[in-house]
Structure 1
Amino acid sequence: MEDSGQALTHELMDLSAAVDLIAQAAAVRLGVHQTDLICLHLLVRHGPLSAGEVAATLGVTAAAISPMAGRLEAGGFAYREMDPNDRRRVLLHASPAGAQQAYELFAGLYADVGEAFSRYSDRDVAMLIELLRTYRQLVTEHTVAMRRE
């Protein structure tokens, strides 16, 4: 019998696998690589990012970001612009059309999650969000550690 930590970890890993599968399907639908879709998500969620910031988050080299940015630009999902605070730095932005396409792809999921969790109190939802943030942070830390080994 698994302890509560193992049971929770297994459920969260199953969730991660399901999210990975929907991301694969979404990337195919948009005609981009899955990593490109993750980059687009980062831009929509966090705003403009430099190649170095995207690379650090994705665990790839900054050089790998240029072709990714090119693919996102070619598809109309993103655009590059000089950083107004540092003209040596280029920022990658989600285009309004790219953000809209990504949102529309997941609109049904947003609605279903909203409906499924509407029976929970705001406090319960806040606790769940905190649990997921903690899980994401732990997974990120372990990913970094695995890449170093």
Structure 2
Amino acid sequence: MAADEATRRRKLTVAVKDALRDLNIELSLLNRRFGGQVELREVDFSCLDLINRHGPMSPKELSRRAGLHPATLTGILDRLQNGGWIVRERDPESADRRAVTVRAVRERNSALYEVFSGMNNRMDALCADYTDDELTVIADFLRRTGGAGQQSADELAR
């Protein structure tokens, strides 16, 4: 009986991993199409999303969070600033007069919300099918999956 249970568990684990791979593909496709609508490259949108979610930060902090080389980030920030998505402001906390903070232009977010409204509505409908306890488990699983992905990316960066 234990062998049957182990086999069933392996099959379920493989099914979860396969579903995550499928999700990754679909979200990548969504992000590419989304980027085409608002004229943002995927990496540019990822950086903008980090700034929107975590608030103003230094380019060095953004580089670390995004896993990007600072020189690569400079071009991304230039494109975001030229598109009116972010501003670079002098960091008043720093003794170094060259230090800057990157801040999202919140007024531009309405363009993002409009393009993502279909996905947001579909996610609301999907979540409505689950109990609060089930949503708690799903949110925990997704957070832990994100953590596993971050750890794996950190390993690969070494």
Give the 4+ runs in structure 1 shifted more than 6 A: none
- Relative to the length of structure 2, the TM-score reads 0.85
Identity of aligned residues (%): 24
The answer to whether the 8 A contact 1:48-1:91 is kept is yes
2:57 pairs with 1:49: yes
Residue equivalent to 2:84: 76
Unaligned runs of 5+ in 2: 1-6
Residue equivalent to 1:23: 31
| Alpha-carbon offset, residue 40 of structure 1 | 0.9
1:144 maps to a residue whose letter is D
Unaligned runs of 5+ in 1: none
Q: Can you list the C-alpha shifts for 1:64-113, whole angstroms capped at 9, x where unaligned? A: 21221111111111111122322533111110233222222111211111
What CA distance in whole angstroms lies between the structure 1 residues aligned with 2:44 and 2:16?
30
2:127 pairs with 1:141: no
1:110 maps to a residue whose letter is N
Residue equivalent to 1:114: 124
User: SS at 1:85's partner residue?
Assistant: coil
Residue equivalent to 2:3: none
User: SS at 2:128's partner residue?
Assistant: coil
2:7 pairs with 1:5: no
Q: Can you list the C-alpha shifts for 1:122-144, whole angstroms capped at 9, x where unaligned? A: 22112111111111110111112
Larger Rg: 2
Q: Can you list the C-alpha shifts for 1:45-71, whole angstroms capped at 9, x where unaligned? A: 111121112111222111221221111
RMSD: 1.6
The answer to whether the 8 A contact 1:76-1:97 is kept is no
What CA distance in whole angstroms lies between the structure 2 residues aligned with 1:17 and 1:32?
19
2:100 pairs with 1:90: yes
Count residues with an aligned counterpart. 148
- Relative to the length of structure 1, the TM-score reads 0.90
